[in-house]
Chains A and B, each alone.
Chain A
Amino acid sequence: MRERPDGAREGRLLAALAAGDRTAAEELVERTYRGVFSLLSRLCGDPDLAADLTQETYRKAWAALPAFDGRAQFSTWLFRIAYTTFLNHLRRPRRLVPLDERHEAAVPDPAPAADAEVDRMAAGGRLRRAVLALPEELRFTVTALFWGDLPVKEVARHEGVTTVAIRKRLKRALERLALALEEEDVR
């Protein structure tokens, strides 16, 4: 069981980093990389790929750190980058496929694309596929709470909604997941 992110400690490390203490960056990595890797491995089901994406996540984080304002915890912010990095990776191969522009608006939600892509992955369970097939809002909530181990309050703060809204999203997501897995069982 990995440790819960310590927001106060992260804040102190970032302050040290801002003051030019490079070892603070190393400690930040040490404190967060297990969580990032754990999330990515649960998302993609492939430890090698998860390791690559973890490295990519940190590369993006260093580049985007000037934008970090400290409203959410560093680990929450890092989680979002890791999550988006995974989604972007998932969609990368499909970008090469041409499509008639007349059909651009046919499917409003990006989730089916993610689902189809993940389907091709060798590893991965039914639950993971079902999670990835959720609409973005619900998918993020489930992954942040269960696979990112983030507190509801932090997710709400980062998403710009209330904790009640996050709980409602979670309820909807779990119902959908139950339904999806039930339908799969019937088939």
Chain B
Amino acid sequence: MSRLSERKVRDIARKLGESPSYGPPAGLLEKIKSEIPPEVTVGAAFNARRSAVPRQRWLIAASLVAAVGAGLVGLRTWESRQAGGLEKQALRQVAAPQSPAAPQPVPPATSGAPQRLSPPPPPPPAVAQLQREEATAAPVTQEVPKPEPELRKELDSLGEAKQAQRTAPAVPESPPAPPAPPAASSGNLAGAERQAEARVEGSVVVGGVAGGAPAGAPSKKAQDAPEAQPPVEALRLDSGAPRAKAERPRSGAAFRFQRAGADPFVDTEAYRLSTFGLHVDTASYEAARRDLLAGRLPDPDSVRVEEWVNAFDYGDPAPARRDFALRAEGAPPPFAHGPGRRLLRFNVKARQAKAGEPDGAIVAGSAGAQVEFNSVVVARYRLLGYEGLPAARPHETTAAAGQIGAGQSVTALYEIELRPDAPRWEQPVATLRLYYREAGGRYAAQELRRVGFQDLAPAWEQASPGLRLASLVAELAEILKGSPWTRGDDLRLVARRLQEVAREFPGNARVAELAELAARAARLKASAP
């Protein structure tokens, strides 16, 4: 840019800063105040966040005090050991006849210790006592450093003992918890945290790993329940209170599930950005599948919609040249949930492994996905699944955002509500962005895919087989989970539609099995009291 342009740019910045504004007219303040509703509700997420901050400060302060205290105690212990050792050595010298060949004790080069080096000669009884002590408690004085594996074992056993102490009151008379299902024990940090949390509370979480979150700024979804919907408190089953636990799962398994609740719709005028995680487990579906095959309905708390949705391949093509392929499409949902409702399906698929690359080679060292809704077109939205998971921060292309391996694919579903008078031209409905950084790469890259009205099928029946299958999988999961958003929907109809859709996936035994499982679930549900 030329110097002239640079000056112009600075000039623009100055003009923007100086652009005139009017003072508020008289009476405006009173008018606004008069419109404050009698009862104003502040978000539970704000309250939780606010109460967490002082608690965090106390925790930090307590940690500091504990660390300093431990350091002081450690120092005193070390000093006393040093001094004690020297005293003992000195006593030994006094007790034992001096041999010319005996090596002289070497004082350690520590400050403070020399004062204790020359104690007055102890009386003989003390020498005798010391010798008795040495004879009976030899291991104490012989401080042989343990090999590291042994220390680890000790730490592990200590941890187990503490854990047993903590879990014992939580699960009285319960059999030992079985190992978590294989898929739940992935190496992902978030998954590990969730499992650790569950173990402490005496339960095992079968669940995904992805961090799903509502808006870019917000982490929790808004309570914006529509008319004829249950109150917000009922929707957010775990809000405010400690997470509910199923006392005894219907599946008969010895582990319990954390209830994730169902997230409400989010107003796009307040929060138009939403993120979803790129690492999604499928353990919830596998567990439910086993239950249904065994003739049991799955525990509603075990059903995680995002894990069900990502348990299936929707035939999204892998990118030909680029690292990622982004797909976005939409249609009315399979069951009418309200006017203007549409279901959007977003898919992010990584390229296949290149020749010479190992299986699952890393395409992106870190990546995150973000959906931006156009508030002019979309009144509100809800992300299906991902409840209670930590917010993904897609712009922070760090390891926390998640890695993506070759061939990996993730699908996210959103239910949106279009504004009744939404302009149907010029306007994108939503924009999917993928932020990523190659493994070891320095710079972040971005892929983008817009969804316009042209991407929305006019009817569910005219949507792509992938979208129809995904919507039915989510519907089935939400019904089995007891989501208030699918209340009244007929499981038998879901099963029938799944059978129809399965025909469009010839040779896909997994989809065919799902149709059968849905029919089985419908029968079980009908016969349930």
Chain B residues, CB < 8 A from A103? 425
Selected from A39, A54, A65, A101, the residue in CB contact (under 8 A) with B42 is A65
A92 CB to nearest chain B CB (Å): 8
B452 touches A (CB below 8 Å): yes
A125 to B42, CA, bound (A): 39
Q: Are A107 and B22 in contact (CB under 8 A)?
A: no
Tell me whether A107 and B425 are in contact (CB under 8 A). yes
Cα A171 to Cα B232 in complex, Å, equals: 43
B453–A59 touching, CB < 8 Å: no
List the B side residues contacting A95 at CB < 8 Å.
Answer: 421-423
Residue contact B29 to A64, C-beta cutoff 8 Å: no
- Identify which of residues 211-236 in chain B touch chain A, using a CB-to-CB cut-off of 8 Å: 215-224, 232
Q: Which residues of the other chain, B, contact A113 by a CB distance below 8 angstroms?
A: 423, 426
Query: Is A54 a contact partner of B32 (Cβ separation < 8 A)?
Result: yes
- Range of interface residues on B (Cβ < 8 Å): 35 or more
Chain B 27-55, CB within 8 Å of chain A: the 1/0 string? 01101110111101111111101100000
Given A68-B270, A146-B17, A108 contacting B450 (CB threshold 8 A):
yes
Residues on the A chain within 8 Å of B222, using CB: 64, 66-67
- Chain B residue nearest to A99 (CB atoms) is B425
Minimum distance in angstroms from A149 CB to a CB of chain B: 10
Chain A residues closer than 8 Å to B132, beta-carbon distance: none
Measured in the bound complex, the distance between the Cα atoms of B46 and A172 in whole Å is 34
Q: Which residues of B contact A80 (CB under 8 A)?
A: 269-270
A179 cross-chain contacts in B, Cβ below 8 A = 5
Judging by beta carbons under 8 Å apart, are A160 and B47 in contact? Answer: no
Structural contact, A69 and B45, CB atoms closer than 8 A: yes
- Please provide the chain B residues from 1 to 28 with a CB less than 8 Å away from any CB of chain A in the complex: 1, 5, 8-9, 11-13, 15-17, 19-25, 28
Question: B230 to nearest A CB, angstroms?
Answer: 15
Which label, helix, strand, loop or mixed, suits the secondary structure of the B interface? loop
Contact with A along B91-135 (1 / 0, CB 8 A): 000000000000000000000000000000000000000000000
Q: Could you tell me if B46 and A54 are in contact, using CB atoms closer than 8 angstroms?
A: no
Contact for B217 among A106, A107, A109, A157, CB less than 8 A: A157
Closest chain B residue, CB of each to CB of A149: B17
- Asked if A104 meets B28 with Cβ closer than 8 Å, knowing A62-B37, A95-B421, A175-B9, the reply is no
Q: Which of A6-26 contact B (CB under 8 A)?
A: 11, 14-15, 17-18, 22, 25-26
Residues of A contacting B422 with CB < 8 Å? 95
Is the CB–CB distance between B40 and A106 below 8 Å?
no
Distance to closest chain B CB from A184 (angstroms): 12
Judge whether A160 and B217 touch: CB under 8 Å.
yes
| CB under 8 Å from chain B, chain A span 94-129 | 94-96, 99, 101, 103-110, 112-113, 125, 127-128
A142 lies within 8 A of chain B by Cβ: yes
Return chain A residues, CB-CB under 8 Å to B282.
Answer: none
* Residue contact B19 to A146, C-beta cutoff 8 Å: yes
Partner of A84, one of B13, B47, B375: B375
Tell me how far the C-beta of B32 lies from the nearest C-beta in chain A, rounded to whole angstroms: 5
B21 near A41: Cβ-Cβ < 8 Å: yes
Nearest-neighbour CB distance to chain A for B374, whole angstroms, equals: 7
Known contacts A33-B32, A104-B454; decide if A69 and B219 are in contact (CB<8 Å): yes
B residues within 8 A CB of A150? Answer: none
User: Which residue in A47, A84, A104 is a CB contact (below 8 Å) of B22?
Assistant: A47
**Residue of B with least CB distance to A41:** B22
| Chain A facing B: main interface SS | helix
Contact B24 A104 (CB under 8 A): no
- Contact, CB under 8 Å: B32 / A55: yes
Would you give the shortest CB distance from A177 to chain B, in whole angstroms?
5
Judge if A169 is at the interface, Cβ distance under 8 Å: no
Known: A55-B35, A95-B421. A66 touches B216 (CB 8 A): no
Q: Name the residue in A34, A64, A131 with the highest tally of chain B Cβ atoms < 10 Å from its Cβ.
A: A64
Please indicate which of the listed interface residues B22, B32, B393 has the most CB atoms of chain A within 10 Å of its own CB.
B32
Task: Tell whether, in the assembled complex, residue B269 and residue A178 are in contact, meaning their CB atoms are under 8 Å apart.
Answer: no
With both beta carbons as reference points, the residue of chain A lying nearest to B221 in the complex is identified as A67
A175 to B2, CA, bound (A): 11
Q: A25's closest neighbor in chain B, by CB? A: B36
How far is B232's CA from A146's CA once the two chains are assembled, in angstroms? 37
Q: How far is the CB of A150 from chain B (nearest CB, A)?
A: 12
A 69-106 binary contact with B (CB < 8 Å = 1; else 0)? 11110000100110011011001101110010101111
Contact A94 B19 (CB under 8 A): no
In this complex, what residue of A is CB-closest to B16?
A: A146
Q: A66-B223, A128-B19 are in contact. Are A112 and B42 (CB under 8 A)?
A: no
Q: Judge if A3 is at the interface, Cβ distance under 8 Å.
A: no
CB distance from A106 to the nearest CB of B (A): 7
Among B21, B29, B376, contact of A33 (Cβ-Cβ < 8 Å): B29
Pair A110/B1 contact, Cβ less than 8 Å: no
Chain A residues within 8 Å of B47, by CB: 15, 18
Which one of A51, A70, A110, A160 has the greatest number of beta carbons of chain B within 10 Å? A160
Least distance between A36 CB and chain B CB atoms (Å):
9
Given that A25-B40, A69-B43, A160-B370 are contacting pairs, would A174 and B218 also be in contact in the complex, using a CB cutoff of 8 Å? no
- Asked if B452 and A65 make an inter-chain contact with CB atoms under 8 angstroms apart, the answer reads no
Contact B36 A81 (CB under 8 A): no
**A60 within 8 A of partner (CB):** yes
Partner of B269, one of A62, A81, A99: A81
Q: Which of B195-223 contact A (CB under 8 A)?
A: 215-223
In angstroms, Cα B22 to Cα A148, docked, is: 14
When distances are taken between beta carbons in the complex, the residues of chain B under 8 Å from A159 are 216-217, 273
Does the CB pair B19–A127 fall under 8 Å? yes
Contact A58 B32 (CB under 8 A): yes
The complex places the Cα of A69 from the Cα of B20 at a distance, in Å, of 33
- Cα–Cα, bound, A118→B11 (Å): 23
Known pairs A11-B50, A18-B46, A95-B421. 10 more at Cβ < 8 A?
A42-B21, A58-B36, A67-B43, A67-B222, A92-B421, A104-B453, A106-B426, A110-B376, A127-B19, A162-B396
A residues with CB within 8 A of B: 11, 14-15, 17-18, 22, 25-26, 29-30, 33-34, 37-39, 41-42, 47-48, 50-51, 54-55, 58-60, 62-72, 77, 80-81, 84-85, 87-88, 91-92, 94-96, 99, 101, 103-110, 112-113, 125, 127-128, 131, 142, 146-147, 157-162, 165, 171, 174-175, 177-179, 181-182
Show 13 A/B contacts (Cβ-Cβ < 8 Å), sorted by A.
A15-B42, A33-B24, A41-B21, A51-B24, A66-B223, A67-B222, A68-B42, A68-B270, A69-B43, A69-B219, A72-B217, A106-B425, A178-B5
